[in-house]
Chains A and B, each alone.
Chain A
Amino acid sequence: MPAIDEKTALAIAKLARLDLREGLAPGTEEAELKKLVEEFGKIVGYMDILGEVDTEGVEPLYSPMVEPRPPREDAPFTAAAKDADARGAKGAPGKPESSGDPDASFDPDDPDSSAKEDRARWILDDAPMTFGRYFTVPKVV
Chain B
Amino acid sequence: METMEPVIGLEIHAQLNTRTKLFCACPTEFGAVPNTNVCEVCTGQPGALPRMNGKALELAAKAGLALGSAVNRESLFSRKNYFYPDLPNGFQTSQLDPPICQGGSLTLELGDGTEKTVRLNRIHMEDDAGKCLHDEKRGLSLVDLNRAGTPLIEIVTEPDLSSASEAVNFLKKLHALLVRLGVTKGRMEEGEFRCDVNISLKPKGSPVLGTRAEIKNLNSFKFVGQAIEYEIERQTGVYGRGGSVSQETLHFDSEKGETRSLRSKEEAHDYRYFPQPDLPPVEISGELLARLRETLPPTPEEAKKRLVALGLKPRQAELLLERPGAPEYFHEAHKIDDDAPRIYSLMEELFLPACQKEGLDPSDSLFAPPKLAALAKLLRDGTVGRRKAQELFPDFFAKGSDPSEAVRSGNLSQITDPSELLPMVEKVAGAFEKEAKKFLSGEEKILSFLVGQVMKESRGRACPKTSAELMKNHVKERFAGAAKETV
Contacts and interface: CB of A to CB of B under 8 A. Distances in A.
A and B associate in one complex: yes
Interface stretch (B37-45, B321-329, B372-380, B464-472): B37-45
A6 B280 CA distance: 38
Interface in B266-313: 270, 272, 274-275, 277, 280, 282
A14 to B, nearest CB: 9
A75 B19 contact: yes
B412 interface: no
Contacts of B20: 74-76
Interface string A46-83: 00000000000000001101001111111111000000
B132 A140 contact: yes
A19 to B, nearest CB: 14
Contacts of A65: 280
Given A62-B275, A132-B34, A133-B33, A139 B51 contact: no
Contacts of B43: 123
A59 to B, nearest CB: 12
Nearest to A63: B277
Contact of B136 (A68, A124, A139): A139
Interface hub of B36, B132, B272 (most chain A Cβ within 10 A): B36
Contact of A120 (B36, B57, B133): B36
Contacts of B45: 123
Interface stretch (B138-146, B215-223, B479-487): B138-146
A123 B44 CA distance: 10
Contacts of A141: 263
Nearest to B27: A76
B135 interface: yes
Interface in B14-57: 18-20, 25-27, 33-40, 43, 45, 51-57
B85 interface: yes
Counting contact residues on chain A (CB < 8 A from B), the size range is 20 to 34
Nearest to B134: A139
A117 B26 CA distance: 12
A116 B36 contact: yes
A123 to B, nearest CB: 5
A22 B18 CA distance: 46
A10 to B, nearest CB: 13
B35 A72 contact: no
B33 A137 contact: no
A76 B38 CA distance: 12
B83 interface: yes
A125 to B, nearest CB: 11
A126 to B, nearest CB: 8
A137 B33 CA distance: 19
B277 A62 contact: yes
Given A65-B280, A123-B40, A123-B43, A137 B143 contact: yes
Interface string A100-141: 000000101000000011011001100000011111111111
Given A69-B280, A74-B20, A136 B143 contact: yes
Interface in B108-148: 132-136, 138-145
B143 A135 contact: yes
The secondary structure that dominates the B interface is loop
Nearest to B282: A71
B141 A140 contact: yes
A95 interface: no
Given A71-B53, A123-B43, A139-B141, A134 B280 contact: no
A22 B328 CA distance: 66
A3 interface: no
Contacts of B25: 72, 75-77, 106
Nearest to A117: B36
Contacts of A68: 280
A77 B42 CA distance: 14
B39 to A, nearest CB: 7
Contacts of A140: 84-85, 132, 134, 141
A71 to B, nearest CB: 3
Contacts of A119: 39
Nearest to A17: B83
Contact of A15 (B51, B145, B270): B270
A73 B24 CA distance: 10
A17 B265 CA distance: 13
B139 A71 contact: no
Interface hub of B53, B136, B282 (most chain A Cβ within 10 A): B53
B139 A138 contact: yes
Can you list the 9 inter-chain pairs with the closest CB atoms, starting with the nearest? Answer: A71-B54, A74-B55, A134-B142, A77-B25, A68-B280, A135-B143, A133-B34, A137-B85, A140-B141
5 contacts: A76-B20, A134-B144, A135-B145, A136-B141, A139-B136
Given A134-B34, A140-B84, 7 more contacts: A62-B274, A65-B280, A75-B20, A76-B19, A76-B26, A120-B35, A139-B134
Interface of A: 15, 17, 62-63, 65, 68-77, 106, 108, 116-117, 119-120, 123-124, 131-141
